[in-house]
Amino acid sequence: MRAAVSRESVLPSADRKLPVAGAGEVRVRVMNQDGAGVVDALGEGVRDLEPGDRVWLWAAETTQDYVVLPRHQAVRMHDYVPFEVGALLGLPALKAHRCLTRATGGPDRLTPGSLAGRTVLIADGAGPIGTAAIQLAKWAGATVEDSAGTPLDTADLDLTPEETANAVAAVAEAVNAGAFRQP
């Protein structure tokens, strides 16, 4: 397989052996070096995923063709969610969720209406974390302001409103199921 290897200020690629999934791990073929892909192999004891399942990843090094990681860091992704959205659901969505739930008096978990009546200021709403924060805050019922002063519209994501709602629901479903709790 090919993997990006950091040396000084360049990121050349290098040939590496295909990693093997150990007990409790999954191997994922990463799509376009983003945080989403297709399960390729299962380690011993993994029973709730199958090869071919589409997943988004969190806390994974994805600058390579394949990545092996603990099962709990690969979250099943609905077929209707594009891989590009799956890439946004990993660390950017985790960081956005954390920001939206760590404010004084804020909710511990986001649910529909959990931010109703609140105004949330998102700095850099055009970046991946800001984009995820906007979508999660809107889903949770907040009024959203962006420091860049641009209109906050799902059209900026090149997704239909239904695709955006489905993607946000997938993040919220995983968050609320406890998928992001560190062991």
Retrieve residue 152's tokens: 């906050």
pLDDT tens, position by position, 34-83: 688 999 999 999 999 999 999 988 766 777 889 999 998 888 888 888 88
The confidence score (pLDDT) of residue 122 equals 87
CATH code 3.90.180.10 region(s) in the chain: 2-76
Count CB neighbours of 82 within 10 A: 17
Distances (CA, A) of 76 to 39, 72, 115, 173: 9, 10, 26, 11
pLDDT confidence of 135, banded at 50, 70, 90? confident
Could you tell me which CATH class the domain 2-76 is placed in? Answer: alpha beta
Q: What average pLDDT does the segment 141-154 reach?
A: 67
For residue 144, give Cα distances in angstroms to 74, 95, 108, 118.
30, 17, 19, 9
Q: Look up residue 83 and give its two tokens.
A: 């891989």
The strand pairing partners of 143, in sequence order, are 119
Mean pLDDT for 123-134 is 82
Q: Across residues 132-147, what is the average pLDDT? A: 86
Tokens 């994974």 sit on residue: 60
pTM, two decimal places: 0.65
- Write out pLDDT tens, residues 12-35: 778 889 999 999 999 999 886 668
Give the residue-averaged pLDDT of 117-124: 87
